[in-house]
A and B are shown apart, each in its own frame.
Chain A
Amino acid sequence: MTDLKKLLDEAAGPEESLTDEQLAGAIARGRRSRRHRGAGLVTAAAMAVVVAGTAWTVWPSAGPGGADAPVAGAPAAAEAAGTTCAQLATKYSIVLRRADSAGKPMTPHLALSAASGKEQQYLNHTSQDRATWVFVTFTVAGSSRPAPDAVINVPAPGPHGWTDKVWRSIATTCYPVG
């Protein structure tokens, strides 16, 4: 080991001291690099703001209320705004069911039948969002009729129906507990 240490020490050559010129150069380069770094950070921040702003404007789910948007497909503006519970019931056939199709008693749940009748969603004690696989639990009010005058903002259901958040909003607005 001593040999290697000695060999490396010799191979490294003599220790040179720093000249004033080298020192001035090092400081000047450092300052320049620092300035460039600062400018780079400012540029990067500005770019990030522009990109975020663009995304906010262009991409609906990134904007305000994005989480309430349907799982897929943007809602039509007219459908997304101010709908009464009665309208909802007419358009999407929201009903409170206490039994399954075979007549077997079930925990009361809200059901949505699309106009075509092909798509159904259920709001049960445990509701499952098929798109995001999030399980939520909440209680449905005892009333079988929705509050007719309540106004609720809901988007049109996407290919995967409404999100649990939208369902929760419908349940609490149209079928108030108590």
Chain B
Amino acid sequence: MSRDDEYAEYLRGHYGRMLRTARLLTGGDVHWAEDLVQTACTKLYVHWGKVRQGDGAASYADRILINVFIDERRRFWRRRETSTAELMDAEPVSGPDHADRLTVLDALTRLPRRQRAAVVLRYFRDLDVATVALLMECSEGTVKSQTARALDKLRDLIDDPLNNLERVR
């Protein structure tokens, strides 16, 4: 199987998961989420030879995604909004309860990026503390503290649904 075939096979299996993770990271900004995934996929392709040998494509792709998301704030020239002649809003993603969805996404956008990433990786991706620490390139203690702070904030922001939110797993 050629390099491109392997890469394509991987992407077919994981693109959806990456995009969903990115949507949460960006607080529901569909375009930004697609940008993040696109950048991550490009970087993944560049390093595919190394990743393939190590069999750690999923972990590597996650790490790229998180790094791109966290590091993006350093690019001061980035504009999240640009003026265009036509409206280019994407179709809202359909879901069981649109109001709840918006509340959660809005609450996520109010978290600092590292806290957001910690919550998404821990509770959406179901990764343990050690793996999240590896992905975020920080200590396990930092992951725990970031997660705890994020949960505290989320409790304040989303009252009812999170009343029985577990503190830190």
Contact = CB atoms under 8 A, between A and B. Distances in A.
Contact of B16 (A1, A10, A16, A23): A16
A158 B4 CA distance: 62
Contacts of B48: 30
B137 to A, nearest CB: 21
Interface string B139-169: 0000000000001001000100111111001
Contacts of A15: 16-17, 19-20
A58 interface: no
A15 B101 CA distance: 15
Interface stretch (B52-60, B62-70, B77-85, B120-128): B120-128
Given A9-B124, A33-B46, A23 B12 contact: yes
B24 A27 contact: no
Interface in A1-49: 1, 3-5, 7-18, 22-23, 25-27, 29-31, 33-34, 37
A17 B12 contact: yes
Interface string A103-138: 000000000000000000000000000000000000
A11 B16 contact: no
A159 to B, nearest CB: 46
B105 interface: yes
A11 B164 CA distance: 19
B42 A33 contact: yes
Nearest to A11: B104
